[in-house]
Amino acid sequence: MKLFFVFFKYHIKERMEYRSAFIVGVCAQTLAYAANYLVVWMLMQKFGAINGWSWPEVAFLYSIGLFVYAIGASFTFVQMQSLEEMVRDGTFDIILIKPRNPFYYFVTSTFNNGYIAHLLLSGTILVWSLSQLKIEWNLLKVIYFCLNIASGSLVIAGLLTIIGSLTFRVIRLQFLFRLFNRLREFISYPISIYSLFIQILLVFIIPLAFVNFVPSSFILAKEFQYDGNITYILSPFIGPILFYIAYLFWMSNLNRYQGAGG
């Protein structure tokens, strides 16, 4: 962790050298996601509710998804996406000569603090939605909420790590990152509105439902058709398990890496 904070300090210093560009970037991302919120709000004004979910509940769901994505992606999205070019050019070899675990060094040395816009916007809307919802909070729900924020972040990081690890075999796979972003759009709304196939995909195959829908359903006391109690209990553990599997998969593929042109 000491190494991470050293990198983090230098990343901040680097961004502050171009302060105007950093501020413009934050504002641009904030406006882009604010527009997404506006689209959801307009839909809710048109239909009133989506499968029993009101606007504050959907805002709560969407905000958790964006907040969790920002945490997980700040360590993995740009890193795994840039891995393709690093492997192709041979610059990834620099990582391998460092006296640290290559995965840990890679994700911490290229930490992306540009996701601050996502955190600020989603955090603000999350607080607003909580003020509008009459949630009966207790110690269990508070702990459950915090654990699922961490677990959801690891789900995002794990899925991106799995995609990135394939670079050592395939090299060119930018389309998978685009596919991931398309799939992530499904959890902007309650997944119960989709067909059975999409629901099974998001719960059992690519577990994006555990990023926000499952914990939101528990906290908001919504019905969940897939053996809800067991799913709720498993939710805080899905992220750590998936991320550990992703890490092992990344390291396994790294062992097959033979250098640029290998």
From first to last of the 262 residues of the chain, give the pLDDT tens digit.
677 667 666 666 666 666 676 677 777 777 878 888 888 888 888 888 888 899 999 999 999 999 999 999 999 999 999 998 888 888 898 888 888 899 998 988 777 877 888 899 999 999 999 999 989 899 999 999 999 999 999 999 999 999 999 998 887 788 999 999 999 999 999 999 999 999 999 999 999 999 999 999 999 988 777 666 788 999 999 999 999 999 999 999 999 887 665 4
Nearest to 116 by CA among 18, 41, 186, 15: 15
Is residue 102 domain-resident?
A: yes
**What pLDDT, on the 0 to 100 scale, is given for residue 210?**
96
CA distances from 78 to 41, 85, 89, 107, 220 (A): 29, 11, 17, 9, 33
Tally of structural domains, the chain: 1
71 occurs within a structural domain: yes
Domain with 9, as residue range(s), is 2-254
The Cα 139–Cα 117 span in angstroms is 30
pLDDT computed for residue 47 by the predictor: 82
Is residue 232 included in any domain, yes or no? yes
SS3 222: coil
| Model pLDDT, residue 29 | 76
Q: Is residue 147 part of a domain?
A: yes
Does the residue 260 lie in any domain?
no
52 domain residue, yes or no: yes
Tokens of residue 31, six digits? 């406006």
259 located within any domain: no
Whether 261 maps to a domain, the answer reads: no
The CA-CA-CA angle for residues 151, 187, 228, to 5°, reads: 65
Q: What is the pLDDT of residue 54?
A: 93
